[in-house]
Amino acid sequence: MNQSQPNTIPILMVDDRPENLLSLEELLRDQGYELVRALSGNEALRLTLKQDFALVLLDVQMPQMDGFETAELMRANPKTKHIPIIFVTAGMRDAQFQFRGYDAGAVDYLAKPIEPVFLQSKVRIFAELYRQRREIEQNKDHFEELVGQRTAELSLSADELAKSNEQLQHWNRAMKSTEEILRKQVAEFIETHDQLLATEEMLRVQIEEYEVTQKLLNASNINLQTLFDVSPLSIVVTSFPEGILRKINHTFSDEFGYKDDLSIGKSGVELDLWCDPYERDRLLKLLGEQQEVSGFAAELKTFTGESRSVLLYCTHIHFKDENCVLIVFLDITEQKLMEDQIRHTQKMDVIGQLAGGVAHDFNNMLTAILGSAELMERYVKDNSAATKLLGNIQKAASRSAELTSQLLAFSRKGQKNSVQICINTTIHEVISLLERTIGKNITLKTKLVANNSCVVGDHALLQNALLNLGVNARDAMPEGGVITFATANVELDSGYCRSSTFTIIPGPYIEISVSDTGTGMTKEIIQHVFEPFFTTKGVGKGTGLGLAAVYGTVTDHHGSISVFSEPGSGTIFKLYLPLSNDKKAAEACVEELIPGSGGILLVDDEEILRDVGKALLEGLGYRVYLAEDGEHALETYAREKENISLVILDMLMPKMGGKETLLRLIESYPDIRVLILSGFNQEGTIDDLKKIGAVGFLQKPYLCMELCKAVSEALSRDRQ
């Protein structure tokens, strides 16, 4: 029987359709296998008689001789009955069909369409079994060779003994004295022969025990590998003490974003995995002093730079003839965040109670001051100086009354009038007020895509909250910039509501975001930003009650508020308010979708996003062409450019990214319209893309109304 090269593992693929064989070959390429094709059952039988295979991937439905018949003939032949068979077919989902396949001699099956991970995993298992079987056979051949050598030596000794016997018989009469010596030599020979037989039996038993042990070891390794791969916790194996990654599991790849080709063979320092290098040094010191380390707290960075809080559980192991450390990661980021949120909520509740009490007593005193000032007017009306002083007292008291109203709003003890409010309309009112108070170096923008913006609440409080946010945004941009008010409809699920520090319930909400391009804030400032009397403004420029009042207003309207900011990157405040259940009132706030026509090329590497985007665009009346990456987009547009009016281009894609694709498209087609699609809203990046030639930007996630407006504006706007 022909044998493969010593270091290759032969896999036989049997299918009457060459395209299926090509597909299998593509999935198994670069795996180190020798891939052999067969287009029929007869060809497969001939190949298995000529060559041994680690595995046969056998299609069931073939003309002349189907997969079942081929498998039965292989099992009937002593030369091929040991070769494992996996059926590859779309019909094995039926239980009766599966039983027939197992009766025919199959060890497993793969259902079409084939999941690449399942195929590669199963082939890898049988390839490893083949390699180990080949090693056992080689060892067995070596043992048999040793036994043969000993037997040959024994035969040679026997021949020499026979010759000596003849000489002894010839010299018998002259050397009778040596007869006893000869008897002893014969006895020793017999004893040696018995020992050789015993050694041979011992070797046979050892080989059988080795085979059994090897099978148990293989099964144990498979189980350990399975546990390693399916563990919900991130697990890595690193060399010690260098810290070079030798093996990672799927959970680590998913949670930290480091794939095998980006991480294996590199240290945590090279990957910039540690937020604080001192923590790594301290862990190495502990591992150098003890066998195991449990619950070591550390801050690690993901591939995208996100910080994650983890507890590390480490133990020394021997991995592939190298001293290594097995590390299990317990991610406690969400737990720490929830603890911080709970502490913040408790602190805000205490401050709110204090603020409410202070405001109540303060209002009482202000009432007395204002009343007394009014009463005194009649006594000093002829004294202009005293009248002016009384006016100053009344103005100061009125200003103080405004401060107490903010305190009461924060503590949720003020009077509130609940009416139906259209948030989009309220934002337009706020914009009108802000335009009179901000400088010309600040631009006000809106992105009101919520088709239902009707909520129940106090119009004055909500308007004042949005004004406070606008004024704060203005103060954060002393050199000028852009303030953007945006709305969107969202559905908050039970998981989000449970994790929130605010008391909110699942359901439809309006998301109100107020963003600026100002100086931004540090994490330390964000932690205190909603506290009463906390301010970063200079003396006399702020009371520290504006954002505290916003916090109280949002809480009083059964909503939530959060802030996202980094120094130098601007700030975004996001408010979530529950939508009104009054359908008639909501209909007054609903914006209608804008239908369209013509062709649109949607480019996105995520299949589910392509499908959703296509459905939304077709629902608006557009004809949609799809591309999965930049190269495919260039090919599709070159072929269908006469039918395509707009390209919607995702920024983050494999092979060719969005920016390179945009440059290539504009270089070849200067009049093309491209709408940028991305999950990252970075003002500088957006401006750069627009300078290159993009006609608009749409941020993920988007709703149908947002997509509708963005497409309509892009089609109507001239490319710059």
Residue 712's domain is classified under what CATH number? 3.40.50.2300
Alpha helices in 248-332 (DSSP H): 250-256, 260-263, 277-289
Residues in CB range of 586: below 8 A, 6 or more apart: 452, 454, 579, 580
Residues 432 and 506 in one domain: yes
Residues 437 and 585 in one domain: yes
Alpha helices in 557-644 (DSSP H): 583-589, 607-619, 630-640
Does any domain span residue 130?
A: no
Residues 50 and 73 in one domain: yes
Residues 395 and 458 in one domain: no
Does any domain span residue 356?
A: yes
Maximum distance among all Cα pairs of the chain, rounded to whole angstroms: 170
Confidence at residue 615, expressed as pLDDT on a 0 to 100 scale: 83
Q: Which residues in the chain land under pLDDT 50?
A: 1-2, 410, 413-415, 538-543, 588, 680-683
How does DSSP classify residue 267? B
Residue 295: domain span: 231-331
Confidence at residue 635, expressed as pLDDT on a 0 to 100 scale: 93
How far lies 711's CA from each of 144, 480, 603, 646, 695, in Å?
Answer: 78, 30, 14, 8, 10
Domain C-terminal end among 203, 229, 255: 229
Single pTM value for the model: 0.35
Residues 704 and 612 in one domain: yes
What burial letters (b/e) apply to 509-525, b meaning 16+ CB within 10 Å?
Answer: bbbbbbbbbbbbbeeee
Q: How far apart are CA 371 and CA 431, in angstroms?
A: 36
Residues 27 and 109 in one domain: yes
How far lies 565's CA from each of 317, 521, 702, in Å?
Answer: 43, 6, 21
- CA nearest neighbour of 480 among 511, 510, 443: 443
State both tokens at 643. 């039918």
Confidence at residue 39, expressed as pLDDT on a 0 to 100 scale: 92
Residues 566 and 606 in one domain: no
CB 297 within 8 A of CB 309: yes
CB 315 within 8 A of CB 228: no
State both tokens at 684. 């500088």
Q: How far apart are CA 553 and CA 426, in angstroms?
A: 15
Q: How far apart are CA 98 and CA 482, in angstroms?
A: 65
Residues 378 and 429 in one domain: no
How far lies 233's CA from each of 265, 298, 536, in Å?
Answer: 21, 16, 42
Residues 286 and 430 in one domain: no
Q: How far apart are CA 707 and CA 648, in angstroms?
A: 10
Confidence at residue 411, expressed as pLDDT on a 0 to 100 scale: 52
Does any domain span residue 537?
A: yes
Q: How far apart are CA 561 and CA 491, in angstroms?
A: 15
Residues 88 and 169 in one domain: no
Q: What is the CATH number for 536?
A: 3.30.565.10
Q: How far apart are CA 617 and CA 609, in angstroms?
A: 12
- In the chain, how many domains are there? 6
Domain C-terminal end among 79, 114, 149: 114
Rounded to 10°, the helix 459-475/546-556 angle is: 140
Residues 455 and 557 in one domain: yes
Does any domain span residue 669?
A: yes
Question: Which residue matches tokens 């498979």?
Answer: 222
Domain C-terminal end among 589, 621, 649: 589
Does any domain span residue 71?
A: yes
Does any domain span residue 4?
A: no
Residues 576 and 428 in one domain: yes
Q: What is the CATH number for 237?
A: 3.30.450.20
Does any domain span residue 564?
A: yes
Does any domain span residue 119?
A: no
